[in-house]
Structure 1
Amino acid sequence: MQNKTTDLLSPGTHDIEVDGLRQRYHVHGSGPVCLVVPGGPGVDWKPTRVPAAEEFLTMLYVEPLGTGGSQRLPSHPHGYTRERYARGLTGLLDALSLPRVLVLGHSYGGFVAQYLALHHPDRLSGMVLYESAPVTGPEHMAESAARVEEFVRRNGDRPDLPTVLGGLQASGTARDDTTITAALRDLLPVSLARYWEREDEFRGLRETITCTYISSLDENLEPDVIDDRAALPAVTVPTLVIVGRYDVICGPRWARELHALIPGSRLVVLEDSGHLGHLEEPEAFADAVRTFARSALA
């Protein structure tokens, strides 16, 4: 069993069956294991890779069910609730004989991490909520719209701005993988603090990022609305909250709320980042995670 588990945690890409479904994940780095849950839902795992953290953690990057090389549910594109994602992740940890791990949830992945902390705290030694929020729905959308207006005021003279705003609009109506990927590529500059000043650096990401269309409905076609604000004060898992000062999608307001709601949590604001601070300020991001991991695992 030990040899099998070691093989499943060796560097590279792995497929494992959980609840009869193929779950794909990627292992990079060395040290204690950190389970990385990407955002979207449906966004490719590769942009969430954090090479700087791989110097001190074994980063286990998951392709959530329905995304990339992981198998789709029979109800696809519906049915991908947090409970379903969490069941897949705990099943993965069981298969790897990992009783407790760090979890890093980016954007929507942060919602999944919160669910794990609330329902499976015994499986987590620490939680990083990275560019996430405690709530979805109209309130979250209104805050994001206000942040978009700020982005437009800062970048009103950019010739590419109409394309970005068109991508934002298209992302709300996309219903297939091709359309949502095209929208994600168009809107990418809104996810970064200074895309056009660093365009040579981020152009490749914009041209290659992919996304699977995942709806916000459960198997019964009911919205999977999230509001963890009443529950978060009961979180016992050590928590780090990271946010970019210019994040439009899950901005500082939500990071402050998470920090205020979760007892003993720490808050780190990346002052020159948007929604992708691990790419925009990689050293500051890695330093924050390193300091937190040392404390959580002590």
Structure 2
Amino acid sequence: MDTETRLAERLRRMPGVRTVPRPVLPGRGTEFDLAYVRDGRPGGTPLLAVPGGPGMASVLPYRSVRRSAARLGFDAVMAEHRGVGLSRRDRGGADLPPAALTLAAAADDLAAVLDDCGIGRAVVWGASYGGVLAQVFAGRHPGRVAGLVLDSTSGSTRADHAEVREYVRGLLWRGEAPEAAGAAERLRDLVEQGAVPADECQDVVPVVYEFGGPAMVERLLEAVARGRTGTWRRVRRLAGKEAGERSPCVLEFDLVSEIWRRELHDLEPDGRPLDPAAAFAQVTAGREPDFAGLPVDAEAVQRGLSVPVAVLSGAYDLRAVPPGAEAMAGRIPDAALVRFPRSGHGFLDRFPFAGLVAAGAVAAGRHKRLPGLAERLEAGRRVTSATAMRGYLAASLAMDGVPFPR
């Protein structure tokens, strides 16, 4: 038995891990066992948490989040996305085929998991890609949604992705925001001088911005201008791992990249610096361009929501950018836009307590109070993956001779 199989078997024996049979393809006889995990007490507030990706597993990476949810009175459920981790293979041991990997099927899997749990309606917390899947779920199964936490997400249309590209360039290339004008000017100069390759900018600069804002980007570029490129090279290596490497039962993008390619992203790279489309174009290169788009009209779903919704947006988020979050919240009849002034992308991964507070407020119908709590929540957060990454970058910059406060 290989290491990956042993890990999967160990995870299947974890308390709360169950499976529900699901069709590989609609109307066909072949099935696979969709895994899910449930933590908390029955009778608590049902919470269905949907991680990002596509490609993030649920059972292994979010144990501490589920334990925190249980302590706060939630009945927390997370499904292992089809094509990922414990839900990767059919009963014959073969990887699920590309045709099985669709947003509609993944949304229907969530409904099947709630059925297996005996849960009629749940607050759905979707982060990043998980927020797109949550909207598809709400469009296909509106009666199962008691409320939504849309965390660092969008409608994932071509217009959304074009908006992200223009926002990133306006901020970090053209310097349209006063606080980032100096960093943008220095970046343009370094590219023009050949000190950094233009095609590496997207792999490095937005990552540093998300964890430290414009001040940390300025320190990074100051180091590069002095010839100290250690931090630049370290961040680029980390970005390459995130985009391309498979980590069993944690991050498995290889199969579910079909969803990204066919339903989520058809914006082509334009060859200019700071292009978010470039990284995913490399991952899906060589495949037929049979783009179909979302199985629901995301904007129509947003306008038709009749439940409380909290839209969480980090000011440093360069993947689901603040103007997009504002527009989305404006379309939702009963939404609260919750802006976090010093946060980046993805609260489920980087600051889950904020998401749990938002889910509790949504469940209680008190979501309109959340905007007034955002700065206090940020000020009180302790060590998270975000603060750890910020510390790593600060330490790296110190080695490059440009200390940055942690």
- Determine if the TM-score, normalized by the shorter chain, exceeds 0.5: yes
Q: Deviations over 1:15-73 (max 9, x none)?
A: 22123221111112231211111110111224445243322211111111111101447
Moved over 6 A (4+): none
State which of 50, 59, 65 in structure 2 corresponds to 1:37.
50
1:210 is matched by which residue type in structure 2?
L
TM-score (norm 2): 0.55
Instruction: State the alpha-carbon separation in 1 of the partners of residues 357 and 109 from structure 2.
Output: 30
Matched, 1:139 2:155: no
Alignment of 1:163-178 (within 5 A): 163-168=234-239, 174=244
1:164 is matched by which residue type in structure 2?
V
CA contact (8 A) 2:40 2:74 kept: yes
Q: Deviations over 1:118-170 (max 9, x none)?
A: 22111111111111111244415515754764545533248333333355467
What is the CA RMSD across the aligned residues, in angstroms?
A: 3.3
1:251 is matched by which residue type in structure 2?
V
1:211 alignment partner in structure 2: 252
Q: Which secondary structure does the structure 1 equivalent of 2:131 belong to?
A: helix
Instruction: State the alpha-carbon separation in 1 of the partners of residues 163 and 149 from structure 2.
Output: 20
Instruction: State the alpha-carbon separation in 2 of the partners of residues 263 and 282 from structure 1.
Output: 25
Gap change, CA 1:99 and 1:296, over 3 Å in 2: farther
Q: Which secondary structure does the structure 1 equivalent of 2:134 belong to?
A: helix
CA contact (8 A) 1:110 1:132 kept: yes
Matched, 1:110 2:131: yes
Matched, 1:81 2:81: no
Instruction: State the alpha-carbon separation in 1 of the partners of residues 106 and 322 from structure 2.
Output: 26
How many pairs does the alignment contain?
A: 258
Gap change, CA 1:42 and 1:241, over 3 Å in 2: same
Matched, 1:26 2:37: yes
Instruction: State the alpha-carbon separation in 1 of the partners of residues 250 and 301 from structure 2.
Output: 34
Q: Which is greater in Rg?
A: 2
Q: Which secondary structure does the structure 1 equivalent of 2:155 belong to?
A: coil
CA contact (8 A) 1:27 1:58 kept: yes
Q: Which moved more, 1:262-271 or 1:136-145?
A: 136-145
State which of 80, 84, 88 in structure 2 corresponds to 1:67.
84
Gap change, CA 1:286 and 1:99, over 3 Å in 2: closer
More helix by share: 2
Q: Deviations over 1:225-244 (max 9, x none)?
A: 34623442122232111122
Gap change, CA 1:271 and 1:76, over 3 Å in 2: farther
Matched, 1:258 2:328: yes
2:343 is matched by which residue type in structure 1?
S
Q: Which secondary structure does the structure 2 equivalent of 1:160 belong to?
A: helix
Matched, 1:56 2:59: no
1:223 is matched by which residue type in structure 2?
F
1:32 is matched by which residue type in structure 2?
T
Instruction: State the alpha-carbon separation in 1 of the partners of residues 247 and 167 from structure 2.
Output: 20
Q: Which moved more, 1:80-89 or 1:156-165?
A: 156-165
